[in-house]
Amino acid sequence: MLLDVDSGQVTHRSGNTVHLGDATAHAEMNLLREAARSEVALTRSVVVTTAEPCPMCAAAAVFSRVAGIAYGMPAARLSKYGWLRFDVSLTALLDGVVSRALTRPSVAGGVLTVECLELFRQRPRCDDGPGARGAGG
């Protein structure tokens, strides 16, 4: 979901739709695409997601110039539930690739971790394409 930092209101919600054939249709990507078509000020918005965004989604958030990213489960913990593991954390990725031309969003991990873990235990693995597993996005 996308949260307005000034009002605290949810401005957009989205979900993962990679099962429809688009491997880039992670929830964060769908959310940012929808928000970009609206009049929401992304620079005053926080992306809130159940799992640590994958590198693709993190890059999209940076280029969208969101104010922040908040997530529940670290990606590394999700590999035992069948999700693709990335060997770089969101914070390390942002520290390593965000140039001076872009604003680095704030990051808050571990938001409602127990509740997010329960969601991942209950839902089937995400399929990002033939033979691949999703990154939790």
Q: What is the pLDDT of residue 129?
A: 40
- Who contacts 122 (Cβ-Cβ below 8 Å, separation ≥6)? none
Q: What is the pLDDT of residue 86?
A: 66
Q: What is residue 130's three-state secondary structure?
A: coil
pTM of the model as a whole? 0.73
Split at pLDDT 50, 70, 90, the class of 5 is very high
The residues with which 107 forms a beta bridge, in sequence order, are 69
Cα dihedral 32, 35, 36, 41 sign: negative
**pLDDT tens-digit profile of 47-97?**
999 888 888 898 899 889 899 999 988 877 777 766 666 666 767 767 666
- Who contacts 9 (Cβ-Cβ below 8 Å, separation ≥6)? 3
Residue 127 has pLDDT above 70, yes or no: no
